[in-house]
Homo-oligomer: A and B are copies of this chain.
Protein backbone atom coordinates (compact mmCIF):
# COMPACT_ATOMS: atom_id res chain seq x y z
CA UNK A 1 0.00 0.00 0.00
CA UNK A 2 1.27 3.43 -0.95
CA UNK A 3 0.91 4.71 2.61
CA UNK A 4 3.49 2.17 3.73
CA UNK A 5 5.93 2.12 0.83
CA UNK A 6 6.10 5.73 -0.38
CA UNK A 7 9.70 5.95 0.81
CA UNK A 8 10.72 2.96 -1.29
CA UNK A 9 9.01 4.40 -4.37
CA UNK A 10 10.67 7.79 -3.94
CA UNK A 11 14.09 6.36 -3.09
CA UNK A 12 14.12 4.15 -6.17
CA UNK A 13 12.91 7.01 -8.34
CA UNK A 14 16.18 8.85 -7.71
CA UNK A 15 18.04 6.17 -9.68
CA UNK A 16 15.57 4.76 -12.20
CA UNK A 17 12.09 5.10 -13.63
CA UNK A 18 9.40 3.83 -11.28
CA UNK A 19 5.82 3.05 -12.31
CA UNK A 20 3.11 3.13 -9.69
CA UNK A 21 -0.14 1.53 -10.83
CA UNK A 22 -3.42 2.28 -9.12
CA UNK A 23 -7.01 1.11 -9.43
CA UNK A 24 -9.12 3.85 -10.98
CA UNK A 25 -7.84 7.37 -11.48
CA UNK A 26 -4.82 8.38 -9.37
CA UNK A 27 -6.52 11.54 -8.12
CA UNK A 28 -9.99 10.28 -7.28
CA UNK A 29 -9.17 10.96 -3.64
CA UNK A 30 -6.23 12.60 -1.88
CA UNK A 31 -4.62 9.19 -1.16
CA UNK A 32 -1.91 9.73 -3.76
CA UNK A 33 -1.58 13.48 -3.38
CA UNK A 34 0.99 13.08 -0.64
CA UNK A 35 3.20 10.98 -2.93
CA UNK A 36 3.06 13.66 -5.62
CA UNK A 37 3.81 16.48 -3.16
CA UNK A 38 6.82 14.59 -1.80
CA UNK A 39 8.09 13.86 -5.32
CA UNK A 40 7.93 17.57 -6.14
CA UNK A 41 9.70 18.47 -2.92
CA UNK A 42 12.49 16.01 -3.76
CA UNK A 43 12.57 17.40 -7.31
CA UNK A 44 11.76 14.01 -8.78
CA UNK A 45 10.07 14.44 -12.18
CA UNK A 46 6.78 12.60 -12.56
CA UNK A 47 4.13 11.99 -15.16
CA UNK A 48 0.50 11.17 -14.41
CA UNK A 49 -1.48 8.97 -16.79
CA UNK A 50 -5.19 9.25 -16.11
CA UNK A 51 -7.43 6.23 -16.14
CA UNK A 52 -11.06 5.26 -16.18
CA UNK A 53 -12.56 5.30 -12.70
CA UNK A 54 -15.81 4.08 -11.20
CA UNK A 55 -16.46 7.82 -10.68
CA UNK A 56 -17.15 8.15 -14.40
CA UNK A 57 -17.63 4.51 -15.54
CA UNK A 58 -20.75 4.46 -13.34
CA UNK A 59 -22.40 6.22 -16.27
CA UNK A 60 -22.68 2.81 -18.00
CA UNK A 61 -25.89 2.19 -16.05
CA UNK A 62 -27.52 4.92 -18.10
CA UNK A 63 -27.71 7.66 -15.46
CA UNK A 64 -25.89 10.69 -16.79
CA UNK A 65 -22.95 12.04 -14.83
CA UNK A 66 -24.22 15.62 -14.99
CA UNK A 67 -27.15 14.59 -12.81
CA UNK A 68 -25.10 13.22 -9.96
CA UNK A 69 -24.67 15.20 -6.74
CA UNK A 70 -22.00 14.74 -4.11
CA UNK A 71 -20.56 11.21 -3.95
CA UNK A 72 -20.77 9.48 -0.57
CA UNK A 73 -18.90 6.63 1.08
CA UNK A 74 -20.73 3.95 3.05
CA UNK A 75 -18.60 2.20 5.64
CA UNK A 76 -19.08 -1.20 7.29
CA UNK A 77 -21.06 -0.84 10.49
CA UNK A 78 -20.18 -2.67 13.66
CA UNK A 79 -22.49 -3.40 16.62
CA UNK A 80 -21.59 -0.15 18.33
CA UNK A 81 -20.37 2.05 15.48
CA UNK A 82 -22.97 2.97 12.90
CA UNK A 83 -21.95 6.26 11.29
CA UNK A 84 -24.64 7.74 9.03
CA UNK A 85 -23.39 11.23 8.29
CA UNK A 86 -23.70 10.44 4.57
CA UNK A 87 -27.50 10.37 4.99
CA UNK A 88 -27.71 14.18 5.02
CA UNK A 89 -25.62 14.34 1.86
CA UNK A 90 -27.98 11.92 0.10
CA UNK A 91 -30.92 14.01 1.32
CA UNK A 92 -29.32 17.17 -0.09
CA UNK A 93 -28.86 15.39 -3.42
CA UNK A 94 -32.31 13.85 -3.70
CA UNK A 95 -33.95 17.13 -2.62
CA UNK A 96 -32.33 18.63 -5.72
CA UNK A 97 -33.39 15.66 -7.86
CA UNK A 98 -29.78 14.46 -8.18
CA UNK A 99 -28.49 10.90 -8.20
CA UNK A 100 -26.14 9.76 -5.43
CA UNK A 101 -23.22 7.48 -6.13
CA UNK A 102 -22.42 5.45 -3.01
CA UNK A 103 -18.88 4.10 -2.84
CA UNK A 104 -18.83 0.96 -0.73
CA UNK A 105 -16.33 0.11 1.97
CA UNK A 106 -13.30 -2.07 1.39
CA UNK A 107 -11.36 -3.62 4.25
CA UNK A 108 -7.96 -4.95 3.24
CA UNK A 109 -5.00 -5.62 5.47
CA UNK A 110 -7.11 -4.94 8.55
CA UNK A 111 -6.03 -6.35 11.90
CA UNK A 112 -8.46 -7.56 14.55
CA UNK A 113 -8.41 -5.42 17.70
CA UNK A 114 -6.89 -8.39 19.51
CA UNK A 115 -4.04 -8.82 17.03
CA UNK A 116 -3.52 -5.06 16.89
CA UNK A 117 -3.16 -4.86 20.69
CA UNK A 118 -0.80 -7.82 20.76
CA UNK A 119 1.24 -6.31 17.95
CA UNK A 120 0.68 -9.38 15.79
CA UNK A 121 0.86 -8.66 12.10
CA UNK A 122 -1.93 -11.08 11.28
CA UNK A 123 -4.46 -9.68 8.87
CA UNK A 124 -8.17 -10.44 8.55
CA UNK A 125 -9.47 -11.75 5.20
CA UNK A 126 -10.34 -8.85 2.88
CA UNK A 127 -13.96 -7.68 2.97
CA UNK A 128 -15.84 -5.80 0.30
CA UNK A 129 -19.26 -4.32 0.96
CA UNK A 130 -21.97 -5.62 -1.36
CA UNK A 131 -24.73 -3.46 -2.80
CA UNK A 132 -27.16 -5.63 -0.79
CA UNK A 133 -25.44 -4.83 2.49
CA UNK A 134 -25.27 -1.12 1.64
CA UNK A 135 -29.01 -1.17 0.91
CA UNK A 136 -29.68 -2.84 4.28
CA UNK A 137 -27.69 -0.17 6.13
CA UNK A 138 -29.42 2.58 4.16
CA UNK A 139 -32.84 1.24 5.10
CA UNK A 140 -31.86 0.86 8.76
CA UNK A 141 -31.11 4.59 8.80
CA UNK A 142 -34.57 5.57 7.59
CA UNK A 143 -36.19 3.19 10.06
CA UNK A 144 -34.40 5.18 12.77
CA UNK A 145 -35.49 8.46 11.19
CA UNK A 146 -39.11 7.28 11.26
CA UNK A 147 -38.85 6.40 14.96
CA UNK A 148 -37.54 9.94 15.48
CA UNK A 149 -40.74 11.24 13.87
CA UNK A 150 -39.68 11.75 10.27
CA UNK A 151 -42.47 11.49 7.68
CA UNK A 152 -41.82 9.42 4.55
CA UNK A 153 -42.09 12.53 2.37
CA UNK A 154 -39.22 14.10 4.31
CA UNK A 155 -36.88 11.12 3.87
CA UNK A 156 -33.96 11.06 1.43
CA UNK A 157 -35.29 7.76 0.10
CA UNK A 158 -37.65 4.93 1.05
CA UNK A 159 -37.85 1.18 0.50
CA UNK A 160 -39.48 1.92 -2.87
CA UNK A 161 -36.79 4.25 -4.18
CA UNK A 162 -35.15 3.28 -7.45
CA UNK A 163 -31.52 2.28 -7.08
CA UNK A 164 -28.91 0.71 -9.29
CA UNK A 165 -26.39 -1.88 -8.17
CA UNK A 166 -23.23 -2.23 -10.26
CA UNK A 167 -20.66 -5.01 -9.94
CA UNK A 168 -17.25 -5.50 -11.59
CA UNK A 169 -17.76 -2.57 -13.96
CA UNK A 170 -15.48 -2.77 -16.99
CA UNK A 171 -14.88 -6.52 -16.71
CA UNK A 172 -16.43 -9.11 -19.00
CA UNK A 173 -18.81 -10.28 -16.30
CA UNK A 174 -19.97 -6.88 -15.11
CA UNK A 175 -23.50 -6.83 -13.79
CA UNK A 176 -25.99 -3.99 -13.43
CA UNK A 177 -29.36 -4.31 -11.71
CA UNK A 178 -31.96 -1.59 -11.36
CA UNK A 179 -34.53 -2.25 -8.65
CA UNK A 180 -35.97 -0.83 -5.45
CA UNK A 181 -33.81 -0.35 -2.36
CA UNK A 182 -35.93 -3.01 -0.63
CA UNK A 183 -35.28 -5.60 -3.32
CA UNK A 184 -31.62 -4.63 -3.50
CA UNK A 185 -31.19 -5.88 0.08
CA UNK A 186 -31.62 -9.44 -1.24
CA UNK A 187 -30.05 -9.05 -4.68
CA UNK A 188 -26.83 -10.99 -5.19
CA UNK A 189 -24.59 -9.26 -7.72
CA UNK A 190 -21.79 -11.79 -7.32
CA UNK A 191 -18.14 -11.10 -6.48
CA UNK A 192 -16.82 -7.57 -5.70
CA UNK A 193 -16.33 -4.70 -6.39
CA UNK A 194 -19.83 -3.29 -6.01
CA UNK A 195 -21.20 0.21 -6.25
CA UNK A 196 -24.69 1.55 -5.53
CA UNK A 197 -26.54 4.49 -6.99
CA UNK A 198 -29.68 6.03 -5.50
CA UNK A 199 -31.57 7.59 -8.37
CA UNK A 200 -32.89 11.16 -8.28
CA UNK A 201 -35.27 12.55 -10.88
CA UNK A 202 -35.01 10.63 -14.14
CA UNK A 203 -34.75 11.74 -17.73
CA UNK A 204 -36.86 9.59 -20.09
CA UNK A 205 -33.65 8.39 -21.79
CA UNK A 206 -32.29 7.38 -18.38
CA UNK A 207 -35.45 5.37 -17.74
CA UNK A 208 -35.08 3.70 -21.13
CA UNK A 209 -31.51 2.67 -20.27
CA UNK A 210 -32.44 1.45 -16.78
CA UNK A 211 -35.17 -0.79 -18.22
CA UNK A 212 -32.33 -2.81 -19.78
CA UNK A 213 -31.24 -3.71 -16.28
CA UNK A 214 -34.51 -4.64 -14.60
CA UNK A 215 -37.21 -7.27 -14.84
CA UNK A 216 -39.56 -5.18 -12.70
CA UNK A 217 -41.68 -3.18 -15.10
CA UNK A 218 -43.50 -1.40 -12.27
CA UNK A 219 -40.23 0.08 -11.05
CA UNK A 220 -40.61 3.45 -12.70
CA UNK A 221 -44.28 3.99 -11.91
CA UNK A 222 -43.67 6.50 -9.15
CA UNK A 223 -40.48 8.23 -10.26
CA UNK A 224 -40.31 11.93 -10.96
CA UNK A 225 -39.39 12.52 -14.59
CA UNK A 226 -37.30 15.44 -15.72
Contacts and interface: CB of A to CB of B under 8 A. Distances in A.
Given A33-B205, A34-B205, A50 B40 contact: no
B50 A33 contact: no
Given A57-B50, A170-B50, A208-B37, A64 B29 contact: yes
A116 interface: no
Nearest to A211: B37
B98 A70 contact: yes
A30 interface: yes
A18 B64 CA distance: 24
A225 interface: no
A25 B71 contact: no
Contact of A66 (B50, B60, B71): B71
A74 B65 CA distance: 16
A205 B30 contact: yes
Interface of A: 24-30, 33-34, 36-37, 40, 48-53, 55-57, 59-60, 62, 64-73, 92, 96, 98, 169-170, 203, 205-206, 208-209, 212
B33 A62 contact: yes
Contact of A37 (B25, B70, B209): B209
A146 to B, nearest CB: 25
Contacts of A66: 29, 70-73
A71 B70 CA distance: 10
A98 B68 CA distance: 13
Contacts of A27: 56-57, 59-60, 62, 64-65
Contacts of A30: 62, 64, 203, 205-206, 209
Given A57-B25, A70-B96, A33 B65 contact: no
A72 B126 CA distance: 38
Nearest to A96: B92
A70 B68 contact: yes
B33 A209 contact: yes
20 contacts: A24-B56, A25-B56, A26-B60, A27-B59, A28-B56, A28-B64, A29-B64, A30-B62, A30-B206, A30-B209, A37-B212, A48-B60, A50-B60, A52-B52, A52-B56, A55-B65, A67-B70, A69-B69, A69-B70, A70-B98
